Every structure is written in structure tokens, then in C-alpha cells.
């Protein structure tokens, strides 16, 4: 019996039992669509987080202070030490010692309550230099950003994030107005552009912050000269590693540290931030994918169940076909083909459903869904495999049936 004839026979059997075949296909379809959509959802979330992190600036390295160990042996947490100073930032900006570093922005940061008239708002106050604007790839939508003169003169000025501005001034133009931080009155000189509020907790809301000149921050507001971080931008993406090395060597020298393991600072790249931030999403994707996979397994068991029912229901047909000359391998092939047809159809419809879902769902849940061709192809292969694997047992049962027993059954 040719493959074409086997295929035709299988197709006829599937068509004859439309309702039953349809329900089986439904099971596989839902499983496949669920797997593709969960993987797509996880992928979408990861892409979103990494694009948010990349939006913080390109070719960026973040230097953070290391941990401290007090004389009593108590070890402070990451970033608790005040080992980074303005001197470090100045040294790193030197073209001679660090040719691959394009820009350096020291940041002294603290959470403060900002008041304007009768409104007050707790937000992050970042003291930094004009370089911050380029390093972070930001701009101001009204007014101006802080300049070198402001830094030199310890000017009492502030640039507000767009969310901060609307919280404090509720729509009124803040430029020229005065805000109070820690009793220091600051004149608002500009408002930052809006980058969109971050939906993940891995990055702080970039639209809610106050930027002041670093000298104003350390000398007049915080009363401490230590830096919370230093941002470094390399000259290009290919020199990022070199910039990392230069910064590392320079800081070890400046801090008089001889072993790399004794470093009192940490340098993190965007890539490492992305990895850390997306690891949670990855875990979640695996978890949800696992649940979806189980529904796919249930769909597969559905195929097996239906095929077993089909074999039992068609005992007489199998007996007749055997009497007329169908060998056991031919019968097995026919039932296997039927099962894989159900799997394939379920898989194909499931992919269609997933594509449709990927278009509609983001509107409802507000999360992007990234469908990958590899995941879809994989799911289709799994669907066919499910049809074949779960079809093997029913098919071999049909093939083993003795023709007389099969013919006798009523």
C-alpha cells in the first residue's frame, strides 16, 4: 500500500469522525498556543527590561563603591563604603591614563524630600556634572541643563524629571520657580525629557529625579563628599572592555590596592545589568512554560485516548482490512499517520491562535509578546511528535489484533 493511499485512508478516517477529531485537535491547539504565548510573553518582558536598561545610555559602565568591613568585623552591604571620590572621577576623565573613556559622570545620590510651596515629594536627588546628560543620553524639554559654571560656583539650581515636575507644580511651568531640599532653596532651571516610566523594578523611574550640580549636592545639601557611583561611557562599543580595564587599573592604583580581589569598588556593564534583571523573567518564563507544557502533555494524552477509542470502535474495520490483505505494519502505519495528522493540525492551528493572541493580548495585559520562529517551529515539531508518540500504543494495539477476533466482534 502506497504512502499516498495510507494518507488518503487516514484523512478519510479523520474526516468521518469530525467532532472527535476536532476535539482532539482542540486539546493540542490550546497546549501549543499556550506554550508559544508564554515563551513569547517571557521573551517580551526580557526584551523590555533590556531595552529599558539600554535606554539608560549606550556603552556604559557603572562603578559602585564596594562593601566595608568595620574594625569590629561587621561587613556592610554592597555600596555601603564611601570609597569613591571626586578625585577618582577626575582621574578617570584623563585622556592620558584612560584613552578609551569618552565621558565620566560622577553621581552623589540621596533620597530627599523636595518641597515647592505647599507640595512636597520624596524623590532621588542626584548631584552630577553636565556630562551626565550625554552619558545618560538625555536632554531637557524646557529651560537648560546644569553647566560647568554651575559646578564651579556651587550654584543653587535644579533640573527636574518630568514626573517630579508635575508632582510638585501640577502642570504649571516650573522653570524659574524655587524648590527646597534639606532647607536649601534651589532655582529650577530646566525639565528633563520624558523616557517613559519603567514598568520593572530593576530600573528606577527615570522621570522622577532631581538633578543638581555635584558641588551643590555634596557641599550644601548632603554634607558628604563621597560618590554613590561613577558612570563611564566608552568611546565605542568595541572599546568597552578596554575602558573597563583602564578604569579598573586606574582605581586600584589610586586606592593603593595591589590585588584585584581586594578591590573596594565594582564595575558593572549594561550587559551584566541586563543579565541580572532578566534572570527573574527567565525563571518565570520557565515556570509558566512548564505549566503550558503540561497542558500540551494533557493534549497528547487526549490524542492517545481518542486513538484508543478509535481502535476499539473500528475493530471490525481493522479485521476486515486485515482479512483483505493489510499486514500489521500497514495497519500500524495508518493509525500512526492518523495520530500525527491530528497532532500536526492541532499544532498548525495552535500557532495561528498564538499569532492572533500575540496581536490582541498586549492590548489587554499591557505587556509585549515577542513570538520567535524557532519557538513556533519547535512547538510544531513537538505537536507532531506528540501525535506520533501517543499514537504508537493505539497503533500497535490495532496492528496486533487477530483478524478473526476483530471480524467476530459486534
Using the contact rule CB under 8 A, the part of the chain among 53-61, 157-165, 276-284, 402-410 near another protein is 402-410
Using the contact rule CB under 8 A, the part of the chain among 112-120, 257-265, 318-326, 374-382 near another protein is 318-326
Using the contact rule CB under 8 A, the part of the chain among 217-225, 273-281, 301-309, 328-336 near another protein is 328-336
Q: Which of 1, 184, 268, 309 binds another protein (CB under 8 A)?
A: 1
Q: How far is the CB of 5 from another protein (least distance, A)?
A: 5
Q: How far is the CB of 32 from another protein (least distance, A)?
A: 29
Q: How far is the CB of 20 from another protein (least distance, A)?
A: 14
Say which residue the cell 525563571 belongs to.
283
71 interacts with another protein by CB under 8 A: no
Q: How far is the CB of 335 from another protein (least distance, A)?
A: 15
Using the contact rule CB under 8 A, the part of the chain among 37-45, 91-99, 106-114, 320-328 near another protein is 320-328
Using the contact rule CB under 8 A, the part of the chain among 100-108, 246-254, 300-308, 321-329 near another protein is 321-329
Q: How far is the CB of 407 from another protein (least distance, A)?
A: 7
Of 309 and 320, the one with the shorter C-beta distance to another protein is 320
Of 131 and 322, the one with the shorter C-beta distance to another protein is 322
Phi-psi region for residue 146, left (φ > 0), alpha (ψ -120 to 50) or beta? beta
SS3 for the chain, per residue? CCHHHHHHHHHHHHHHCHHHHHHHHHHHHHHHHHHHHHHHHHHHHHHHHHHHHHCCCCCEEEEEECCCECCCCCECCCCCCCCCCHHHHHHHHCCCCCCCEEEEEEEEEEEEEEEECCEEEEEEEEEECCHHHHHCCCCEEEECCCCHHHHHHCCCEEEECHHHHHHHHCCCCCCCCEEEECCEEEEEEEEECCCCCCCCCCCCCCCCEEEEEHHHHHHHHHCCCCCCEEEEEECCHHHHHHHHHHHHHHHHHHCCCCCHHHCCEEEEEHHHHHHHHHHHHHHHHHHHHHHHHHHHHHHHHHHHHHHHHHHHHCHHHHHHHHHCCCCHHHHHHHHHHHHHHHHHHHHHHHHHHHHHHHHHHHHHHCCCCCCCHHHHHHHHHHHHHHHHHHHHHHHHHHHHCCHHHHHHCC
Q: How many residues does this entry show for the chain?
A: 410
Contact code string over 9-38 relative to another protein, x by CB under 8 A: ---xx--x----------------------
Of 75, 92, 45, 115, nearest in space to 233 by CA: 92
Task: Output phi, psi for 108, to 5 deg.
Answer: -110, 120
321 interacts with another protein by CB under 8 A: yes
101 interacts with another protein by CB under 8 A: no
Q: How far is the CB of 45 from another protein (least distance, A)?
A: 49
Q: Which of 323, 356, 360, 381 binds another protein (CB under 8 A)?
A: 323
5 interacts with another protein by CB under 8 A: yes
Q: Which of 22, 86, 293, 328 binds another protein (CB under 8 A)?
A: 328
Of 286 and 402, the one with the shorter C-beta distance to another protein is 402
Of 11 and 271, the one with the shorter C-beta distance to another protein is 11
Q: How far is the CB of 333 from another protein (least distance, A)?
A: 12
List, in order, residues 6 or more apart from 394 with CB less than 8 Å away: 304, 307, 308, 310, 311, 335, 339
Of 144 and 316, the one with the shorter C-beta distance to another protein is 316
333 interacts with another protein by CB under 8 A: no
119 interacts with another protein by CB under 8 A: no
322 interacts with another protein by CB under 8 A: yes
How many residues of this chain interact with another protein, rule: CB under 8 A? 24
List residues near another protein by CB under 8 A: 1-2, 5, 12-13, 16, 316-317, 319-330, 402-404, 407
Amino acid at each position: 500500500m502506497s504512502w499516498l493511499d495510507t494518507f488518503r485512508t487516514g484523512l478519510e478516517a479523520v474526516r468521518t469522525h469530525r467532532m472527535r477529531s476536532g476535539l482532539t485537535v482542540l486539546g493540542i491547539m490550546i497546549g501549543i498556543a499556550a506554550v508559544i504565548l508564554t515563551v513569547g510573553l517571557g521573551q517580551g518582558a526580557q526584551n523590555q527590561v533590556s531595552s529599558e536598561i539600554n535606554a539608560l545610555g549606550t556603552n556604559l559602565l557603572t562603578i559602585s563603591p564596594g562593601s566595608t568591613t568595620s574594625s569590629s568585623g561587621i561587613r556592610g552591604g554592597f555600596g555601603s563604603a564611601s570609597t569613591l571620590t571626586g578625585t577618582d572621577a577626575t582621574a578617570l576623565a584623563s585622556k592620558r591614563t584612560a584613552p578609551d573613556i569618552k565621558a565620566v559622570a560622577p553621581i552623589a545620590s540621596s533620597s530627599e524630600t523636595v518641597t515647592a510651596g505647599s507640595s512636597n515629594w520624596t524623590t532621588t536627588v542626584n548631584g552630577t556634572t553636565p556630562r551626565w546628560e550625554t552619558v545618560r543620553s538625555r536632554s531637557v524639554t524646557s529651560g537648560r541643563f546644569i553647566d560647568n559654571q554651575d559646578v564651579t560656583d556651587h550654584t543653587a539650581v535644579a533640573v527636574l524629571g518630568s514626573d517630579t515636575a508635575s508632582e510638585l507644580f501640577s502642570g504649571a511651568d516650573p522653570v524659574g520657580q524655587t524648590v527646597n531640599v534639606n532647607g536649601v532653596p534651589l532655582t529650577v532651571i530646566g525639565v528633563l525629557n520624558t523616557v517613559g516610566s519603567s514598568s520593572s523594578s530593576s530600573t528606577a523611574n527615570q522621570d522622577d529625579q532631581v538633578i543638581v550640580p555635584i558641588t551643590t549636592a555634596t557641599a550644601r545639601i548632603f554634607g558628604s563628599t563621597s560618590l554613590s557611583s561613577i558612570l563611564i561611557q566608552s568611546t565605542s562599543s568595541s572599546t568597552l572592555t578596554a575602558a573597563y580595564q583602564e578604569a579598573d587599573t586606574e582605581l586600584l592604583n589610586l586606592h593603593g590596592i595591589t590585588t584585584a580581589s581586594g578591590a573596594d569598588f565594582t564595575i558593572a556593564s549594561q550587559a551584566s545589568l541586563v543579565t541580572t534583571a532578566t534572570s527573574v523573567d527567565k525563571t518565570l518564563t520557565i515556570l509558566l512554560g512548564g505549566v503550558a507544557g503540561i497542558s500540551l502533555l494533557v493534549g497528547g494524552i487526549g490524542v492517545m485516548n481518542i486513538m484508543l477509542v478509535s481502535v476499539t470502535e473500528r475493530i471490525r474495520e481493522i479485521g476486515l482490512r486485515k482479512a483483505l490483505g493489510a499486514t500489521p505494519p500497514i495497519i500500524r502505519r495508518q493509525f500512526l499517520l492518523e495520530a500525527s495528522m491530528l497532532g500536526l493540525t492541532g499544532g498548525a492551528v495552535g500557532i495561528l491562535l498564538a499569532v492572533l493572541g500575540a496581536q490582541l493580548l498586549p492590548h489587554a495585559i499591557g505587556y509585549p509578546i515577542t513570538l520567535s520562529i524557532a519557538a513556533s517551529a519547535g512547538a510544531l515539531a513537538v505537536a507532531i511528535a506528540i501525535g506520533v508518540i501517543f499514537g504508537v500504543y493505539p497503533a500497535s494495539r490495532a496492528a496486533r489484533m487477530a483478524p478473526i477476533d476483530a471480524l467476530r466482534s459486534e
